[in-house]
Each structure stands twice: as structure tokens, then as C-alpha cells.
Amino acid sequence: MSVVGGTTRATPRRRGVWVLNAVSAAAGLAAWWIYATTDPTVPTPPAVLDKAVELLGDGTLEADILASLRRVLIGFALGTGLAVPIGFLMGWYTVARGLIEPWVQFFRTIPPLAIIPLAIVLMGIGETPKLFVIFLAAFLACVIATFQGVVGVDRTLINAARVLGAPTRVIFARVVVPASTPFILVGMRVGLGSSWATLVAAELIAAQEGLGYRMQSAQLYYDLPTIFVGLISIGVLGLLMDRLLLLVERRATGWQERR
């Protein structure tokens, strides 16, 4: 981006990326449409659009989107909110690293979906187990990224700050945190993707609404248009949220050189 006369103007490179995005989306839509004409089991884009309009008309799609979005936002916020301070503790204090890192690595090898049976037994079939598995997916992705960001800070910068007489709290706030921010935001983006990926399985836990629940119900009746509506809704919501995080990343790390 560039600033001209106090206004923000997209660079030609950025506009070129947007054009390529539009071309890619159009090509994907065309490929889907062509394939659907050769395979009668796959619904065409107009059929999926008609189903989406129908579900929006009776309020079903709106209710499902709001339910799923609420679960993802709560689980993601709790997961990343806990992951960032724990990641800083692990990266900055050797004792915390020794105590916490083995547990993080242990649970990181266990897919959050595998926790669902245990979550049901321990937490029941309400909202708590759904939020927990989404929280776990976001937490594990973000905590590792934050930890790597802290331990990867250039020691020269820290030593230079100490030579200049900066106390530990100032070094942490003015050197470690800014240098770790790009890693944290990348971890948040990965955690957001993991949250949406976990959503469908999480909504198998006695849910009454939600995109994952609606897709599972449609599967029983071989209702492919509804399944496609759910898939596209999840993809679009995930993409929009990722773009918001990407915008935050660009503004928070504007000092970084970018290609």
C-alpha cells in the first residue's frame, strides 16, 4: 500500500493480486460447473445457490452460521488468549519451558478430534465440549508459534538493549514482543484454520444447529446441495476471518520488508 495526498492507495502489485484472486475464483467455479454437468450426483452452482436462498429464506442458514461462528469465535479467542502468554513464558523462562513444553508437545501429537469422546464423558453433551475441542485446536497452533517467536529473537538485539541499560521489562516489551508479533499472528491464522476444521466434528456432539450439524443431517438424506452450502459457508467465513487477521498482521508488522 502507498499513501498519496493523505489517502491510502493500493499499489499496482496489490491490485494485480486481487485480479488474480478473481480469476482463480472464476476458474474454480467454471471447473465445478463443467464437472457437475458430467456427473449427475454433483449439484451445479445454480442448484446450490437455489438451496442457499431457500435456507436463507426460512432462517435456517442464518441460524446455523451464527451458531457456528459463535462457537469458533469463543473457542478461538480463548485458545489464542491463553496461548500467547504461555508461549511467552515458555520462550522467556527456562523453568517454565521445562515444565510446560513437554505437555504442549504431548497434546500437540493428539488430534483435537480424538479428544471428543473424552470431552463428552467429562463435560456432557452441551456447548462446553464443543468449545473445548475448538479451543484446544487454536491453542496448540498458537502456543507453538509464539514460543518459536520468542526463542527466535535475535540475541544481538537483546544484548544491545542490555548494554544500553534497558531493564528486563523494557527489553521484553520493546524488543521481544515486537520481534515475536509476526510469529504470533501466523500462529493465530493457523489456529483459526484449525478451529474451523474442528468445528464440523465438534458439532456432532448433540448439536441442534450449526453448519456442521446441518451438513451431517443432510448426509442422512443424501442432500448434496445443503452439504455444498455448508462447505461454501465455512470456506467463505474462514477466508474472511483470515483476511481480517492478515490485515491486522500487515498493520502490526509494517516495519517488516515484504515481497
H or E element that contains 102? helix 94-108
Predicted pLDDT of residue 259: 56
Task: Give the burial string for 226-251 (b: 16+ CB within 10 Å, else e).
Answer: bbbbbeebbeebbeebbeeeeeebee
Q: Which amino acid is at 147?
A: F
Any idea how long the chain is? 259
Question: Residues 57-108: pLDDT tens digits?
Answer: 989 999 999 999 999 999 999 999 999 999 999 988 889 899 999 999 898 8
Strand-strand pairing, 7-9 and 2-4: antiparallel
3-state SS, 175-212, equals HHHHHHHHHHHHHHHHHHHHHHHHHHHHCCCCCCCCHH
Predicted pLDDT of residue 254: 66
* Residue 47, C-alpha cell as written in the block: 442448484
Question: Residues 208-258: pLDDT tens digits?
Answer: 889 988 998 888 888 899 999 999 999 999 999 998 988 888 887 766 655
Q: Give the mean pLDDT of 158-181.
A: 84
Predicted pLDDT of residue 69: 93
Question: Residues 132-156: pLDDT tens digits?
Answer: 999 999 999 899 999 998 888 888 8
Cβ-count burial of 46 within 10 angstroms (0-12 exposed, 13-18 middle, 19+ buried)? exposed
Predicted pLDDT of residue 122: 87
Predicted pLDDT of residue 56: 92
DSSP string, 40-62: TTSPPHHHHHHHHHHHHHTTHHH
Higher pLDDT, 164 or 259: 164
Other Cβ atoms within 10 Å of 156 Cβ, number:
8
Radius of gyration (Cα) for the chain, nearest Å? 22
Q: Give the mean pLDDT of 157-174.
A: 83
Higher pLDDT, 20 or 50: 50
Predicted pLDDT of residue 165: 83
Alpha carbon 14 to chain centroid, angstroms: 23
Question: Residues 20-34: pLDDT tens digits?
Answer: 888 888 999 999 999
Which CATH code for domain 44-252?
1.10.3720.10
